[in-house]
């Protein structure tokens, strides 16, 4: 088994090295760059820090300074690709943690499910293009790995780091609390306070550190911006065209649609937690985290390909005990990739050919992709309910 795991990790590394090398080649030989535009933002922000300035001197840098601090070797070594290599390493380490959390599976199943992450071309492309999601994925998986080991203090530290990197993992606090409450025995309160207290401690400590160096602009760009943003650049979100049209009006409407966009997103993301309350287990916790993240991304005001990574890290665990047939799974995959391809076609027409396809092209393709995700979400929820009911029935027999 150890040899098979080593082979899988080696193959995943070789694939990433190949994608990374091709990306360097494309960047130097083609006008259309392989590297994600956000990576240049990270790189420029790190340059400002390297020159003893603020990372927020770089327009559109809306992240924690910790991210650009990690990319300082880009400038120390005078090699722009260091950060991408760092992201690839954390991408693979995330896969290693997924393997560790799948230890209850048979060896063959474990390898197949881990391959959903380690050999996934979308995951590989995201990290090798210089997207930082692998840092967040690693922090989340590390927190869950430590929680499963009942290392509540260390889990709290890792979970706090994940929320510092991106705000959205805070929604996981509800299902994690339910899990600890229902499985912690007579010490559930102590364990919950330990993990929660250290999570808050990390958030406050890192927040104060960043505020000490960068003041109000840290709070404004890292946190407040993401609550009030009205980014109407074309993306997968069903809110895209509404916000785009609203922003183009000379006289703004009395309705601030960006504020209301949070309502269905938060309500649905929290509502799926009832599945964990009905049936609490480690496996069901991971299922609920998957459903939460999928619903959060589906209803988000902004949705790009990198956001898919947020729920793909949980897909191997969901597939472990699914009751769906392979035919259903294939059909769901076709629906998801097909509607995504339709949107990408219209996005290409707009971005590279300059065609005005906002309506009906992007408008209807965004709706189609949104509805496909709703359809998938409904099937996943039904599947999880069936699994919970089956386990409850077996216990009562």
Residue-level pLDDT, tens digit, the chain, 397 residues: 688 999 999 999 999 999 999 999 999 999 889 999 999 999 999 999 999 999 999 989 999 999 999 999 999 999 999 999 999 999 999 999 999 999 888 889 999 999 999 999 999 999 999 999 999 999 999 999 999 999 999 999 999 999 999 999 999 999 999 999 999 788 999 999 999 999 999 999 999 999 999 999 999 988 888 776 655 566 888 887 777 776 666 455 556 666 677 888 899 999 999 999 988 899 999 999 999 999 999 999 888 899 999 999 999 999 999 999 999 999 999 999 999 999 999 888 887 777 888 888 888 999 999 999 999 999 999 999 988 777 665 666 6
First to last CA, the chain: 36
- Euclidean distance between CA atoms 363 and 357, whole angstroms: 8
Digit-coded pLDDT (tens) for 27-80: 999 988 999 999 999 999 999 999 999 999 998 999 999 999 999 999 999 999
Q: What 8-state DSSP symbol labels residue 362?
A: I
The CA-atom distances, in angstroms, between 31 and each of 28, 34, 124, 131 are 8, 9, 22, 20
Judged on CB neighbours under 10 Å (0-12, 13-18, 19+), 13 is middle
DSSP string of 235-304, one letter each residue: -S-TTHHHHHHHHH-SS--S--HHHHTHHHHHHHHHHTTHHHHHS--HHHHHHHHHHHHHHHHHT-S---
Candidates 293, 240, 238, 239; CA nearest to 270 is 293
- Euclidean distance between CA atoms 186 and 277, whole angstroms: 18
Digit-coded pLDDT (tens) for 175-231: 999 999 999 788 999 999 999 999 999 999 999 999 999 999 999 988 888 776 655
Q: SS3 for 83?
A: helix
pLDDT of residue 48: 97
- Euclidean distance between CA atoms 148 and 330, whole angstroms: 31
377 Cβ partners below 8 Å, 6+ apart? 291, 294, 295, 298
pLDDT of residue 160: 98
């Amino acid at each position: 088994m150890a040899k098979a795991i080593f082979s899988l990790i080696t193959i995943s590394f070789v694939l990433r090295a190949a994608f990374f090398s091709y990306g360097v080649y494309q960047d130097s030989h083609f006008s259309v760059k392989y590297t994600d535009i956000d990576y240049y933002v990270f790189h420029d922000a790190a340059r400002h820090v390297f020159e003893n300035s603020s990372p927020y001197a770089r327009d559109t840098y809306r992240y924690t300074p910790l991210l650009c601090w990690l990319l300082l070797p880009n400038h120390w070594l005078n090699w722009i690709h260091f950060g991408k290599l760092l992201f690839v390493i954390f991408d693979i380490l995330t896969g290693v943690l997924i393997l560790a959390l799948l230890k209850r599976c048979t060896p063959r199943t474990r390898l197949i499910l881990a391959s959903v992450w380690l050999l996934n071309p979308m995951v590989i492309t995201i990290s090798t293009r210089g997207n930082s999601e692998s840092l967040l994925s690693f922090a989340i998986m590390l927190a869950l790995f430590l929680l499963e080991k009942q290392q509540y203090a260390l889990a709290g530290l890792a979970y706090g780091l994940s929320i510092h990197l991106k705000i959205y993992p805070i929604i996981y606090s509800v299902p994690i609390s339910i899990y600890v409450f229902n499985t912690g025995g007579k010490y559930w309160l102590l364990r919950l306070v330990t993990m929660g207290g250290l999570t808050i401690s990390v958030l406050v400590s890192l927040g104060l550190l960043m505020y000490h160096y960068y003041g109000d602009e840290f709070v404004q760009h890292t946190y407040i911006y993401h609550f009030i943003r009205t980014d109407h650049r074309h993306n997968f979100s069903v809110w895209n065209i509404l916000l785009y049209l609203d922003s183009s009006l000379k006289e703004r409407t009395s309705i601030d649609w960006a504020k209301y966009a949070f309502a269905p997103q938060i309500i649905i993301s929290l509502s799926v937690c009832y599945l964990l309350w009905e049936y609490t287990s480690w496996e069901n916790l991971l299922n609920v985290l998957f459903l939460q993240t999928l619903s959060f991304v589906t209803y988000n005001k902004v949705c790009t390909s990198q956001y898919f990574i947020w729920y793909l890290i949980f897909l191997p665990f969901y597939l472990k005990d699914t009751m769906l047939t392979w035919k259903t799974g294939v059909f769901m995959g076709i629906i998801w990739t097909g509607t995504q391809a339709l949107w990408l076609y219209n996005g290409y027409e707009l971005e590279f050919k300059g065609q005005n396809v906002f309506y009906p092209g992007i408008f209807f393709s965004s709706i189609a992709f949104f509805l496909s995700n709703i359809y998938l979400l409904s099937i996943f929820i039904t599947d999880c309910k069936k699994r919970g009911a089956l386990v409850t029935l077996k216990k009562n027999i």
